[in-house]
């Protein structure tokens, strides 16, 4: 930690670096989680970096080792790891309500913003100004997906065996159309066996490594005993599972009673429950599954709208999987669930339903499994499968990059013309990301402005 950073922390009233922070009140933590919900840009890497800076370095609510341990296990779970990490730390500090508040506030600002942006997109998306913005955003999103594959790969693929797992995963999903859950299961099994037979290959902690330095005594330090509410008991596990399944069952029963089994909202609830259970490796890994179901099977939106939704998701705070709220909004709007005079209400209701069913499992996983996670510090048999799964996810994300590139560069399909302008924008975005380390928000802003300028000039299609 730099001297300037320490000085800034002391000037702002932060606790002395050689003394652990005082106990944090629930309402003080709530204010931070609310702030985090509005500033958590940059995808999982950016969001995790923000939490590390605020919670480990500046506020010292949790030590680096405990932070990384929680992060590595959140990556094992299906669901957005950054949101689950916030839920985990909130739960560790302030019991179940702390986890619920921290996890919900990580999502709600993004939901409200995406509902507003989705409304603008559908109501005025055909206007040249809006169409031009999205023309520049789409190739930028393609470059971002490639960059995500590279970023995760450089962190996770530390030897030839892990490179082999990534390559096999790519071939399985690209050439063999293997289901994503099967790829995750196979990778986890390889990691489980490999952790026993060749622990030096898989002892990478999911690519996040080990704690590298201490930022001073933390409230939840390396040797802090597990708090009583985080100790595993079968009764507590049963209670959390019963509440979680009860909430899911009550919501689904309400949708069935109101709209029937084949109603759009009911189908959205069921589909995104399944999607929530398949989001190993984050949003990039599950997006092909969402595309297959939402675009090809249910036809709630088009492939082009799906890419536009990802662009909107990249420009808003919160987990990238919140693109599902856009999917729900478009589906509710286009199907006029509440009639032609209530399109916004239908879209907002569908977005809320989709968000509920997508994130409910994440809360259950953390609140039910957190006590087990707290008892597994440093045990390779738990981290080795994660290492292999992370390697496999690199191959899956690369497949997603090719999927987006095809839709952006050949908008009318292989038989149509090649969009060389989009290709140039994608290459320029890639150079900005890889060579100049440009941030996500400045990149999207520049590409959107370029697309708008090209549309005004009549150059862009």
Which pTM does this prediction carry? 0.74
Residue 16 has pLDDT above 50, yes or no: no
Closest CA to 372 of 270, 251, 234: 234
Confidence of residue 437 (pLDDT cuts 50, 70, 90): confident
Q: What does the mean pLDDT of the chain come to?
A: 83
pLDDT of residue 9: 37
Domain ranges of the chain: 110-212+234-457
For residue 11, pLDDT over 60 is answered with: no
Tell me what pLDDT residue 291 has. 82
- Counting residues of the chain whose pLDDT is more than 90, the rounded percentage is 36
Q: How far apart are CA 290 and CA 294, in angstroms?
A: 6
Q: Which of 171, 150, 190, 229 is nearest to 386 (CA)?
A: 190
User: Average pLDDT in the 400-413 region?
Assistant: 79
pLDDT at residue 49 in the model = 74
Range name among 258-262, 293-297, 456-460 with the lowest pLDDT average:
456-460
The CB density around residue 49, as the number of other CB atoms within 10 Å, is 12
User: pLDDT at position 8, please?
Assistant: 34
Q: What is the pLDDT of residue 203?
A: 66
Would you place residue 10 in the very low, low, confident or very high pLDDT band (cuts 50, 70, 90)? very low
Is the model's pLDDT at 242 over the cut of 80?
yes
Q: Characterize 408-441 residue by residue with b for buried, 16 or more Cβ atoms within 10 angstroms of its Cβ, and e for exposed.
A: bbebeeeeeeebebbeebbebbbebbeeeeeebe
**What whole-number distance in Å separates Cα of residue 343 and Cα of residue 362?**
30
pLDDT at 268: 97
The confidence band for 408, taking pLDDT boundaries of 50, 70 and 90, is confident
Would you place residue 95 in the very low, low, confident or very high pLDDT band (cuts 50, 70, 90)? Answer: very high
- Most confidently modeled range among 178-182, 188-192, 231-235, 362-366: 362-366
pLDDT at residue number 344: 96
Higher pLDDT residue, 111 or 178? 111
3-state secondary structure at position 104: helix
pLDDT tens, residue by residue, 419-428: 999 999 999 9
pLDDT tens, residue by residue, 31-68? 999 999 987 765 676 688 788 888 988 888 998 888 87
List pLDDT tens digits, range 350-367. 999 999 999 999 999 999
3-state secondary structure of 62: strand
Identify the weakest region by mean pLDDT among 53-67, 177-191, 240-254.
Answer: 177-191
Does residue 156 have a pLDDT over 90?
no
Rounded to whole angstroms, how far apart are CA atoms 302 and 407?
11
Instruction: Tell me the per-residue pLDDT of 190-222, one tens digit each, with 9 for 90 and over.
Output: 988 988 888 878 765 444 444 455 677 888 887
- Of residues 391 and 107, the one with the higher pLDDT is 107
Higher-scoring residue by pLDDT: 261, 448: 261
Between 246 and 395, residue with greater pLDDT: 246
Sequence-distant (6+) residues with CB within 8 A of 90 are 29, 33, 98, 99, 100, 101, 102, 103
DSSP 321: G
Q: Is the pLDDT of residue 414 over 50?
A: yes
Q: Where residue 377 falls among pLDDT bands split at 50, 70, 90?
A: low
Q: How far apart are CA 183 and CA 189, in angstroms?
A: 10
Q: ∠ at Cα 112 (106, 114), nearest 5°?
A: 95
Average the pLDDT over 281-293 and give the result.
74
Beta-carbon contacts of 138 under 8 Å, excluding residues fewer than 6 positions away, are 307, 308, 311, 404, 407, 408, 422
């Amino acid at each position: 930690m730099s001297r300037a950073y320490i000085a800034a922390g002391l000037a702002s009233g932060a606790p002395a670096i050689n003394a652990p922070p005082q106990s944090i009140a629930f309402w003080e933590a709530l204010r931070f989680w609310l702030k985090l919900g509005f500033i958590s840009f940059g995808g999982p890497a950016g969001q995790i970096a923000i939490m590390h800076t605020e919670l480990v370095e500046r506020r010292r609510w949790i030590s680096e080792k405990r932070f990384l341990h929680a992060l590595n296990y959140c990556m094992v779970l299906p669901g957005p790891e950054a949101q689950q990490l916030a839920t985990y730390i909130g739960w560790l500090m302030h019991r179940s309500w702390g986890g619920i508040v921290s996890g919900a506030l990580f999502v709600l600002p993004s939901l409200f913003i995406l509902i507003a942006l989705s409304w603008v997109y559908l109501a005025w998306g055909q206007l040249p100004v809006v169409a031009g913005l999205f023309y520049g955003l789409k190739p930028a999103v393609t470059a971002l997906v490639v960059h995500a594959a590279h970023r995760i790969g450089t962190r996770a693929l530390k030897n030839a065996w892990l490179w082999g797992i990534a390559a096999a995963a790519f071939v399985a999903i690209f050439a063999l159309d293997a289901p994503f859950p099967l790829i995750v299961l196979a990778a986890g099994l390889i990691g489980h066996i490999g952790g026993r037979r060749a622990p030096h290959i898989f002892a990478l902690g999911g690519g996040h490594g080990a704690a590298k330095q201490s930022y001073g005594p933390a409230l939840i330090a390396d040797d802090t005993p597990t708090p009583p509410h985080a100790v595993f008991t079968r009764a507590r596990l049963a209670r959390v599972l019963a509440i979680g399944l009860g909430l899911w069952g009550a919501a689904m029963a309400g949708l069935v009673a109101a709209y029937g089994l084949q109603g759009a909202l009911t189908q959205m609830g069921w589909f995104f429950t399944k999607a929530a259970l398949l989001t190993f490796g984050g949003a990039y890994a599950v997006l092909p599954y969402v595309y297959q179901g939402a675009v090809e099977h249910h036809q709630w939106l088009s492939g082009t709208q799906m890419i536009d939704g990802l662009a909107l998701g990249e420009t808003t705070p919160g987990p990238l999987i919140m693109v599902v709220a856009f999917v729900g909004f478009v589906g509710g709007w286009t199907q006029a669930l509440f009639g032609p005079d209530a399109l916004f209400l239908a879209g907002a209701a569908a977005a809320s339903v989709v968000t509920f069913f997508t994130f409910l499992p994440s809360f259950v996983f953390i609140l039910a499994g957190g006590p087990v996670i707290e008892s597994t510090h440093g045990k390779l048999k738990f981290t080795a499968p994660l290492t292999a799964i992370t390697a496999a996810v690199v191959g899956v994300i690369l497949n997603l990059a090719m999927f987006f590139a095809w839709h952006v560069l050949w908008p009318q399909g292989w038989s149509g013309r090649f969009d060389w302008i989009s290709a140039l924008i994608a290459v320029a975005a890639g150079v900005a990301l890889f060579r100049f380390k440009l941030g996500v928000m400045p990149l999207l802003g520049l590409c959107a402005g370029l697309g708008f300028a090209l549309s005004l000039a009549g150059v862009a299609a």
